Amino acid sequence: MKIACFEYLARLLRMYKERRFLYRNIGVRYMPKTTSIVDFLESGLRAESLRQKAIANNIANLETPGYRSIDVKFKELLSKALESKGRVDLSEIEAQIYLPKETPLKSNGNDVSLEAEVGKMVKNSLLHKTYIRLINKKYQQIEIAMGVK
């Protein structure tokens, strides 16, 4: 699970670099609105925070009759935006809450699985920590470049 998180982040970083390279190769000085990797990391961090709240909500409603679990859609939206030819404006890419409807319903009409939610929470925590570490590393690099001690 930890490797999958890093592979996902590495893929996003590669897409970001390729996007910048693409703009340089065509000889146009046009850059997307978001040129800082920190913006992408902060956007991912906000999405993971929202996902943590959704997971907590699902666990809180574990035994609520008729409750359907919710999840957050962000990875797909960000990937689609990065692969597009136009500008990337992260203020327009907001994490979305949706009903996945992937798990079977119990007799009370509830589809929340505690095991699945705990698994999502572990994965989400790893992604959250990874985003934090990458943002800290980026700020450390900026401080080194500025000569701040």
- Tell me the percentage of the chain whose pLDDT exceeds 70: 70
DSSP string, 7-27: HHHHHHHHHHHHHHHHHHHTT
DSSP string, 30-65: ---S---HHHHHHHHHHHHHHHHHHHHHHHHTTT-T
Whether 5 has a pLDDT exceeding 90, the answer reads: no
pLDDT digits (tens, 9 = 90+) for 7-36: 666 665 665 555 543 444 444 333 344 457
Question: Residue 72 has what pLDDT?
Answer: 92
Residues 91-101, buried b or exposed e (16+ Cβ, 10 A)? eebebeeeeee
Instruction: Specify the number of domains making up the chain.
Output: 1
Which residues form the domain of 96? Answer: 2-146
Which whole number is the average pLDDT over 124-149? Answer: 88
Nearest to 35 by CA among 79, 92, 94, 87: 87
pLDDT digits (tens, 9 = 90+) for 57-71: 999 999 999 999 999
Please state whether the predicted TM-score (pTM) of the whole model is above 0.85. no
Number of other CB atoms surrounding residue 115 within 10 Å = 7
